[in-house]
């Protein structure tokens, strides 16, 4: 997969797109998309999480695989992590998503029944 080229100067808090070189937590995925929000703000994390889910569903519709890499999250919120991705310090990294071509499409896993409490 060819990684989209990232802009040379990243505007504040737009998704950061990078080729992943690290082998560690990124599973050799060709692309890492980091969804970040302008912080502080009342709904930064919630908005980023919604954007992440939309991105994951859109990727799946194109037969691409994604995984939220929470393992990288803590480092990416440090000044060193932000520098690595060229993020302004006012950006809060929320959702590091790797994107790539899955080798398999496993069937959905079994889910417990949701516990629903009707109120009123
Ligand atoms: C906030 C968050 C962080 C995650 N971090 C990682 C991670 O660091 N490494 C990893 O392999 N998967 C990570 N995952 C993916 C989960 O391990 C799991 O595969 C995913 O939530 C799908 O769940 P399912 O297997 O029950 O369908 C993360 C998921 C979420 C929601």
| Distance from Cα 68 to the centre of ligand 1, integer Å | 6
Residue ranges of domains in the chain, CATH in brackets = 16-100 (3.40.109.10)
Mutate to test the pocket of ligand 1, among 68, 96, 108 (most ligand atoms within 8 A of CB): 68
56-75 mean pLDDT: 95
User: How many whole angstroms separate alpha carbon 95 and alpha carbon 10?
Assistant: 17
Whether residue 101 has pLDDT greater than 70? yes
Please give the number of the atom of ligand 1 that sits closest to the Cα of 72: 8
Cβ atoms of 44 and 94 closer than 8 Å: yes
Pocket of ligand 1 (CB under 6 A): 25, 67-71, 109
User: How many whole angstroms separate alpha carbon 39 and alpha carbon 44?
Assistant: 7
User: How many whole angstroms separate alpha carbon 89 and alpha carbon 16?
Assistant: 14
Q: Among positive and negative, which fits the CA dihedral 105, 98, 17, 100?
A: negative
Structure tokens at 101: 């071509």
Please tell me which residue, 4 or 36, carries the higher pLDDT value: 36
């Amino acid at each position: 997969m060819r990684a989209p080229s990232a802009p040379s100067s990243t505007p504040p808090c737009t998704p950061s797109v990078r080729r992943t070189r690290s082998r560690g937590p990124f599973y050799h995925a060709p692309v890492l998309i980091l969804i970040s929000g302008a912080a502080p703000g009342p709904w930064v994390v919630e908005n980023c999480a919604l954007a992440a889910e939309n991105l994951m569903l859109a990727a799946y519709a194109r037969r691409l695989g994604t995984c939220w890499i929470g393992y990288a999250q803590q480092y990416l919120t440090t000044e060193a992590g932000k520098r690595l991705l060229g993020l302004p310090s006012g950006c809060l990294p929320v959702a590091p998503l790797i994107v790539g071509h899955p080798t398999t499409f496993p069937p959905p896993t079994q889910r417990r029944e949701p516990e629903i409490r009707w109120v009123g």
